[in-house]
Amino acid sequence: MVVSGRHPATGESVAVRVGNGSIERVEPAAEAAERYISPGWIDIQVNGFAGVDYNRADTPLNEIARSIEAQRETGVTRFYPTVITGSRENMLGSLRNLAKAKRTLDDGRAMPGFHVEGPWISPFDGPRGAHPKEHVRAPSIDEYRRFQDAAEGQVRLVTLSPEHEGACPVIERMADDGVAVAIGHTNAGAKAIADAVRAGATISTHLGNGAHAQVPRHDNYITHQLACDALYASLIVDGIHLPPAWVKVALRAKGVAKAILVTDAVAPARCPPGIYRLGCLEVELLPDRRVELTDTRRLAGSALSMDCGVGNAMRFAGVSLFDATRLATVNPAAAVGLRERQGYLEPGQAADFTIFRLDPGGAVMVERAVLAA
C-alpha cells in the first residue's frame, strides 16, 4: 500500500510505502498532492463519543465500535477510553466492558490502553471538577490491582492527585509497571507535586482545568506544573475550557515538545444539543457546545473533536501546522509510551495516517484516517 500527501513540516508531497502494518519508506511523490498526510491522531482522554458513554458497564459493544468509527472521521486513529471517578462497582464494570471491546471488536486495536481518571483526586470543590464527591477516595495499590485485573492489564494511564497521603508509593508502583501517571484534579502544593514527579508522574491532565476559580497569584498548582520541565501538559483547546491567550502562554511555557492536545470528549460529542449520561451523572450539551452537569452547571468534559483541536491550536497560539499535528501525534505517543508511534512518518513506525486539508479559513477538514493492518 502507498499513501500520499503533503508533509506538514515542508509542504512537499511524499509517498509513504506500507508493509505488514508498518512504514517501510518515505520518498518524494511522483505527483503533487493536494491533501496533507500526518501520523494518525491520538487522543489520550475520551470519556465517550457520538452518543456512546464509556463509563457504563452495560454499553453495547456495537455502540463502542460505532464510536470508534465516528472518531476516525475526526482524524483519530487511536484513543484511550477514559473511566472517571465512580463507585468501585461501576468503574470495574466499565473497565471489564472496555477490555471485552478491545479484545473482540475488529477495531479494538484503536484502543491501545485505558485511562483511569480518578477516583484518587482532590475532594474539594473546584479541583474535583464534575467528578462525584461521594466516590473520591485515597489511592491504594490494592485498588490499582483491581483496576488492572478488570481491564485485563490494559490500564496504561492514571490521573490522580498527589495531595493524598500515600500517593507516592502507588505512583512508584504504577510507573514500575509502565503505566503513565498524570497529576490532575489536584489541590496539591509544590512539595507534593515535586514528590509525585520524583516518584514517576510525567503528565499534567488538562492543565488549567479541574481547578479553583481563583488561586494564589504565584504559589499555585497550575504554575508549579507549568514550570516543571519533566511534565507533559495536556490541554483542552476548545475555546471553552481555556481562553486562547492562556493556550498561547501554556504552549510557550511548556514548549511544543511537552504539550498534548486532548478532547476530554464525553458522549454528547458529535451529537445535537440535549441531555446525555456520563456514568452516574446527567449532563447537558448546550447550543454553544458547552457540556455541563444538569444540577450544578459545572463543565463536565467537552464536545470537542480532535480536528477542531488541531485547528484551534494554530489559531489560538500561532503554531505551525506541523507543530499542531505533533501535539496530537508524536507527543501523546511519547507521553504514554506508545513506542510504535513516536516517530513522525518514519520507517519502522506503525502505519497510522490522517489525510486532511485546510479550508481557506484555516479549518482542518479530515478526509480519511487509516489504521493499517
CB 364 within 8 A of CB 308: yes
Can you spell out the DSSP letters for 131-194? S-GGG-----HHHHHHHHHHTTT-EEEEEE-TTSTTHHHHHHHHHHTT-EEEE-S----HHHHH
Domains defined along the chain, listed by start: 40-340 (3.20.20.140)
pLDDT of res. 134: 97
Q: Which residues contact 175 (CB under 8 A, 6 or more apart)?
A: 181, 199, 200, 201
pLDDT of res. 238: 98
Task: Identify any residues that bridge with 354 across adjacent strands, giving them in sequence order.
Answer: 38, 369
pLDDT of res. 110: 97
pLDDT one digit per residue (tens) for the chain, 373 residues: 899 999 999 999 999 999 999 999 999 999 998 999 999 999 999 999 999 999 999 999 999 999 999 999 999 999 999 999 999 999 999 999 999 999 999 999 999 999 999 999 999 999 999 999 999 999 999 999 999 999 999 999 999 999 999 999 999 999 999 999 999 999 999 999 999 999 999 999 999 999 999 999 999 999 999 999 999 999 999 999 999 999 999 999 999 999 999 999 999 999 999 999 999 999 999 999 999 999 999 999 999 999 999 999 999 999 999 999 999 999 999 999 999 999 999 999 999 999 999 998 889 999 999 988 7
Task: Identify any residues that bridge with 235 across adjacent strands, giving them in sequence order.
Answer: 261
pLDDT of res. 273: 97
pLDDT of res. 227: 97
Distances 321 to 37, 39, 41, 326, 363 between C-alpha atoms, Å: 11, 13, 13, 9, 11
Is the pTM value of this prediction over 0.85? yes
Q: Which residues are catalytic?
A: 264
pLDDT of res. 229: 97
